[in-house]
Structure formats: C-alpha cells, structure tokens
Amino acid sequence: MEPYKLKLLIERAGEIHDKAAKFNRNDDFARLQHNIELACEYYNRDEMRKPLIIAIAGGTGVGKSYIFSSLCGVEGISPSSSSIRGFTRKLHISASEEDRCFLPFSHDDAKFVDVSLPGIVLIDTPDLDTIHAENARIARETVSVADIIICVTTPDKRSDFIVNQNVIEWASRKRWFFAMNKADTADVDSEKLRLDFVVRLKALGFEDCSKAVFVFSANEKNNGEFINFRESIISARSLQSNRLLKQEACLRQLLHAFNSEKLIERMLKLLMDLKNSRDILISRLKDAEGAISRSEIVYQAARQAFAAWAYKALSQRRSMFLFPWLLAARWMNDEKENAFLENEVERSYRKSSDLANLFTDERRSIEDKSLALPEDGDEKDYLQYFRDAGKSIIHQVRKHAEHSVSSRLMMFYLFIANLLPTIVLIQVLYRMITSWLSANWLPSDFFVHAALMTLAATLPGYLLVSRSLTRLSCQLNAQTPEKDVKLSLLDTRISQLETILQLSSQLHSSAEHELNQIKSALPESSYGISAGSSRDQV
C-alpha cells in the first residue's frame, strides 16, 4: 500500500471528525470523534519505524511465562509461578538494544531480559484476568501496542469470560495466534481439543483459524506442534511485510472507529428518527399554514391586494374608454394593499399557537437526541420565514390577478364594456359629420352633452368589469407554496448527518479495499489471523 493512500484516508477521517464536532453533545458522535482521534494518533506515532511487537497474553496460570522462556530459549527467564506473577508490576521483554528505544514502556513497568530474538520484540504480559488494577492497566497497554498477540489458554480455561472479552474487544484490530497449552492435562486427545477450540474461536469472530491455532504442552519442547508454533512466532519476516502489517493495523484502527459498538447503525437510526420527526412536523406545518391562509383576515387582505394588482394590470392594457375609471381605481387601490396583506400574513403567523407549538417541538426533537442547538438567530429565522410566507402569498395573488386580467373572459368583459360608449361615440361623430356636410353649425352645448353622454356610457362597462373582478377575487384560494426548506433546524442537522454518513461510507469502502489487499499479501502462518471488521459491532 502506497503511504500517500493511507495519509489520504487519515485526512478524510479528520474531515469527518471536524464535521462530527457539531454533534458532540450526542454520545455516539463524541465516541466517533474519540475513536478517530485514536486512529489519527496511531498513524502519527510513526509506527513504521518501530520493531514488530509480539505479546503473549492470557489468563492466570496458563503458562505464558513458560512459553516466553521457551521461545527465548532460556529456562526461567521470566517468573513462571502464578503466585509471584500475580503481584509483579513489570513486563518481561525480549528486545535488542536498538529496538528498546522505540518501545513506549517506562523502566518502572518493564524489565528487559538479556536474550533477544531477531526481528521481533517478545513481551510476557501480566494476566488479563488479574484482580490488581495496576497489572490490568499494564496488560491492556501492552495489548494495545502489540502488532501480534499470542493468546494462551488451557483446556480448563477455554471459557474464561474476562479473557474472551479482551479478545472480542481487539479481535478485528490485531493479528492473533491462539495456543492451547497443557493439552496433556485434558481427558480428550489433542485433535478433539483443536476442533473444540476452533469452534469457540469462530464464535468470537475468527472464521478461518486453522493456520493460527496450536494445541500442545509447552514442557514437551520436542513436540511437533510446539516446534511449528515456535517457527511461526520467530520465523524471519521481511521489512516490507512488517511495514504492511503496520499499515494494516492503522487501517483496522480506522475501521474500528466507525464499526465499534454499532456506531454507524445508531447514526442511521438517528437520521431516520430526525427524518420521521421532520415529516410529522411538515404535515402539521401544512395544516397550520392552510388554516392561516383560509382565515378571514388573510382572505379579505388578499382580496384587496388582488383588486390593486388587477386594476393596475388593466390600466396598463388597451382598455380604451375604461381607462379613466381604471386609472382612478388604481389610484384608490394603491400598492399599500400589498404591504397590508404581507403584514396581515406575518401577524397571523406570529399569533398562531399551532406554529408556536410546532417550532417548539422542532427544537425539542433535536434536544431529545442530545444534539446542539444554535445559540442565537432562531427568532430571526422564524421572522424571515413569516415574511417569506407573506411574500409567497402576495406572489400568488399577483399571479392570479395578472392571469385573470389576461383571461378570455376578461377580454370579453372589456369588449362589452367598450361597446356602449363606442356606439355613443359613433352616433356623436355621425351627427357632427352630417352637420358639417349640411353646413349647419352645432351649438357648443352639443359637444358638452356628447362628452358627458360618452363618459356616462362608460360607467356600465366599468361596473361590469369591477363586478367581474370582485367575483374573481371571491374565488381566490392563496396557499403557501411548497418550499425546499421549511424547518431549518431539523433540515440543517439532517443534511450534516447525511454528509457524515456518506463520507464515512466512502472511507469505510476505501479502507476495506486496501485492507483486503494487505491481508492477501501477509501469510497467516507468520502473521496470524484477525477477525472481520464487522465484528466490532458485536
């Protein structure tokens, strides 16, 4: 695996960490942040320069110290008495002088033996099931820094709960060898012990463990099984393979950050809960908005605004004889009606108890999930929402007015309205022309009367048009149109959570791909086995 690929994955994890900080009041997101920090810390330790660390771990009295001494080839190099080992606070470590500086253990916790094995650091770990807190701390720290763990048990301790819990916790993050010591003390043969051991390991998440399971008695050093075990542990490993193992450990730590304790599943459930809450609130919001838009106050204000827009649109058209009347009506119904409608809608939204309860429930649905709310700006958001609702209703009223004025029915009304004054005007013109041809001068009163009659003839038409507009305004049914974002608090958090899950899914897929390639390159006979990453979710 190229180093830049691992660096890119770590950078992506850092991006997810930063986005998850907005949800850090929630335990799951706080845990995700902590896990990612551990993975990034592991990457930044410069693990590639450290030697290969193999830790021997297990319960009390399983023969860990004896196996450590046998692998080092020196009898009694580590205390083997459980009565002594149970109270010691020091690790027993076999490491060369140049490798010791890379180990994260203090001199108070570690005792270095005089024997070193080529290419590896071998550690005899305190009992995992110890009742002493200090020993338990040292054991856990040793397991956390080890690259390969030799888990030692005996026929009578195969079901040790505490040991098994430690195995489960680290199953997918470490490489493992499993050794059943003291096989000669069992009342069944070694093959049956092996089959039973394999079944138990499969239950812990290790599917194919045949190459990493050994059943022997450590005091029988010439036993073929123990010889194979020793060769697997101290076999020569290339620097390239060790480097791949370090990269694999970093990838496993990264996958564990997302898979542990079913974090992703719980985040998906949180996302679905938020979406369900939003759907319920949107349904309530539609009902509340519908009640407001159908209210008598908004209805009357909308009719007045409709008349203002309609008269304005008609006055801008070729209304012929109706123009003076429409101009006067436009002047009487000015655009203040639009501001009045907007104010009435905003006032209705403000006074709506249904909306107040709805926005309170929106905040509560977020707080119930232990998600942070913005410190300020909520009232401003709601006020802007109310204003937008008023503007949207005004927009509908205006469009309805323009459509009504442009309709064929209104064109017919305008034609009928202009018909009578046209006939009167034609009659006046006919009288004027005939008088002119007969050389008779019409009195000035004729022209005054003609103008008044023509103007009076426009009045029925204007009343017809005005009445039709009144009837059309009664059919007004303004509704708040659908908007992409209505519940800003919920929608923002849903969007942020979807982004985190999407980035997590992409990172998980990339890490799994790289991990599978590394696994195929590392032989299990030399590097042990590991449980699948999905095992973290148990």
pLDDT tens for the chain, 538 residues long, are 788 898 899 999 999 999 998 888 899 999 999 999 988 888 877 666 678 999 999 888 888 988 998 898 887 666 654 445 444 457 889 998 888 888 888 777 788 888 888 889 999 998 888 878 888 888 888 998 899 999 999 998 877 766 778 888 888 889 999 999 999 888 888 899 999 999 888 888 888 888 899 999 988 878 889 999 999 998 888 888 888 898 898 899 889 888 877 888 999 999 999 999 999 998 888 888 778 877 888 878 888 778 777 777 777 666 766 667 666 766 665 556 667 777 777 788 778 888 888 888 988 999 898 888 765 545 455 666 666 777 777 778 888 888 888 888 888 887 888 888 888 888 888 888 888 888 788 888 888 888 888 888 888 877 887 888 888 878 777 665 555 446 788 888 999 999 999 999 999 999 999 999 998 899 888 999 988 754 454 4
| pLDDT computed for residue 106 by the predictor | 78
d(Cα 202, Cα 359) in Å, to the nearest integer?
51
| pLDDT computed for residue 458 by the predictor | 80
Domains located in the chain, CATH noted: 3-260+504-537 (3.40.50.300), 295-476 (no CATH)
428: CB partners within 8 A, 6+ apart: 450, 453, 454
| pLDDT computed for residue 507 by the predictor | 93
d(Cα 538, Cα 528) in Å, to the nearest integer?
22
| pLDDT computed for residue 494 by the predictor | 92
Helices 263-293/27-44 angle, 10° precision: 140
| pLDDT computed for residue 47 by the predictor | 61
d(Cα 96, Cα 464) in Å, to the nearest integer?
107
Residue 80 DSSP one-character state: -
Question: By the 8 A CB rule, do 128 and 55 touch?
Answer: no
Tokens of 390: 């008023």
d(Cα 154, Cα 177) in Å, to the nearest integer?
14
Beta-sheet strand order (sheet of 91-94): 110-112, 91-94, 120-124, 52-58, 148-153, 175-180, 213-215
| pLDDT computed for residue 506 by the predictor | 94
Residue 440 DSSP one-character state: -
